Amino acid sequence: MERIPLKAQARRDGGKNFCRRLRASGETPAVLYGMGGDAIMLSIDTHDFLKSTAKLSGEMAMFSVSAEELGIENQLAVIRELQRDPLSERLVHLDLMRVDLTQPIDVVVPVHGRGNPIGVRDGGVLEQITRSVHLRCLPDLVPPHIEVDVSELAINQSIHVSDLDLGEKIEMHSPATDVLFHVVVPRKIEEEAVAAEAEVGAEGEAAAEGEGAEDKKGE
Domain assignments of the chain as residue spans, ordered by start: 3-99, 107-185
Which pLDDT value is given to residue 57?
A: 72
Domain 107-185 has CATH 2.170.120.20: yes
**Cβ neighbours of residue 177 under 8 Å, at least 6 residues apart?**
160, 161, 162
- Higher pLDDT: 15 or 7? It is 7
pLDDT over threshold 80, residue 192: no
**Cβ neighbours of residue 175 under 8 Å, at least 6 residues apart?**
161
CA-CA-CA-CA dihedral for 125, 131, 136, 142, to nearest 10: 90
**Cβ neighbours of residue 188 under 8 Å, at least 6 residues apart?**
none
Beta partners for residue 158, in sequence order: 182
CA distance 77 to 67: 13
Q: Which of 12-21, 66-75, 88-97, 176-185 has the lowest mean pLDDT?
A: 12-21
Quote the pTM value.
0.73
Q: What is the per-residue pLDDT across 45-75, written as a single tens digit (0 to 9) for each?
A: 999 999 998 887 778 889 999 999 899 999 9
CA distance 131 to 109: 9
pLDDT, mean of residues 161-185:
96
109-144 as b/e: b if 16+ CB within 10 A: bbbebeeebbbbeeebebeeeeebbebebebeebbb
Angle at 189 between CA 185 and CA 192, to 5 degrees: 140
- What's the CATH class of domain 3-99? mainly beta
